Structure 1
Amino acid sequence: MPDFPLALRGYHRHQVDAFVARIEGTLGRAQLFAPPVTAAEVGTVRFAIALRGYRVQAVDERLEEYLRELELKENGDGRRLSAADADRLIGLVRNVRFVPTRLSEGYDEREVDAFLDRLIAELRGRRPRSADIRAARFATTRLRPGYAQPDVDGFLDHLAAEIDRLARTR
């Protein structure tokens, strides 16, 4: 089990410990006392914030590593997408338009755009990882240009599900 550093305000320690124990059991590193964890579950997990909790960034970084491991376990060798499927997904990413925000909270445009550029590069290599898409996190903005959070989250969820579907059909 990882030993996470503490912060004044961080993730609730018992929630993180229980979830990490399930992950370790799913990966065969410890005895599994609860249902196995899926990569999708790791990508969507949320923990309560508590005083003297685990440092958020440290936990998030470790969860991203677990996400990759679980995805490899679930999908085997991570087969390549066909050129036609990769081109179709690249077209989706290039043509997506998100609702802009100004006064309400949104995701930082530069971070989202940089992530989409990296995603296109992965699609060109025809080995995108749905776990990386699900694990994407962006800084939020207020009173600055941003993208509507539900639009970005919905698009990334759709794209990850499509990659999973294509991986299952191969």
Structure 2
Amino acid sequence: MPEFPIALRGYHRHQVDAFIARVEGTLGRAQLFAPPVTVAEIGQVRFAVTLRGYRGSAVDERLEEYLREFETKENARRRRLAAAEADRLAGLVRNVRFVTTRLTEGYDEGEVDSFLDTMLVALRGRTARSADVRAARFATTRFRPGYSQPDVDGFLEHLAAEIDRLG
């Protein structure tokens, strides 16, 4: 727990200590006896000013450091979640199976498979774009095996929506 210099007029020491204890507990550095602190709370916290309290500038600087630390942790968490989601989508693309057609019109299997391979590479490299998925066009087949057009179109729309959601 950080120590702050005392000023003639400064932040109420017990309020600061209690809040800092919550922050430290939220960060996992101390036991947490109260609800975890949010980034918004750190940015909006106000302390009463009393005689012989903590120097406000020192407390404010430490709160700024906490804000940066929370944001760094949050960004790392978001990156991990995005990577996990991209891996989940890659698994979805890798394992998709479409109904095949013979007598009715369908999409050329080789073209669809090639496009899905390209999407797998893009998902793994975090470069997948929903616009590319929506712009995909395939040759059609008749009297030879092809993929059901509604199946492929539905899957590609779902994939594009998931990529959009990932941002």
Normalising by structure 2, report the TM-score.
Answer: 0.51
Aligned-CA RMSD value: 1.8
Percent identity, aligned pairs only, is 78
Structure 2: gaps spanning 5 or more residues: 1-78
For 1:137, what is the secondary structure of its paired residue?
coil
In 2, Cα distance between equivalents of 1:165 and 1:84: 13
For 1:111, what is the secondary structure of its paired residue?
helix
CA contact (8 A) 1:82 1:126 kept: no
- Equivalent positions of 1:52-71 (< 5 A) are none
Aligned-pair CA distance for 1:82: 2.2
Counterpart in 2 of 1:94? 94
Counterpart in 2 of 1:114? 114
Q: Which amino acid aligns with 2:114?
A: A
Aligned-pair CA distance for 1:166: 1.6
- Equivalent positions of 1:10-159 (< 5 A) are 82-159=82-159
Q: Which amino acid aligns with 1:157?
A: E
For 2:117, what is the secondary structure of its paired residue?
helix
In 1, Cα distance between equivalents of 2:162 and 2:113: 20
Q: Which amino acid aligns with 1:142?
A: R
Normalising by structure 1, report the TM-score.
Answer: 0.50
Aligned-pair CA distance for 1:91: 0.5
Aligned-pair CA distance for 1:165: 1.3
In 2, Cα distance between equivalents of 1:98 and 1:151: 6
Q: Which amino acid aligns with 1:166?
A: L
The structure 1 segments of at least 4 consecutive aligned residues displaced by more than 3 Å after TM superposition are none
CA contact (8 A) 2:100 2:145 kept: yes
CA contact (8 A) 2:93 2:120 kept: yes
CA contact (8 A) 2:82 2:166 kept: no
CA displacement 1:22-57 (0-9 Å, x = unmatched): xxxxxxxxxxxxxxxxxxxxxxxxxxxxxxxxxxxx
CA displacement 1:63-105 (0-9 Å, x = unmatched): xxxxxxxxxxxxxxxx9x8221110000100111000001100
Structure 1: gaps spanning 5 or more residues: 1-78
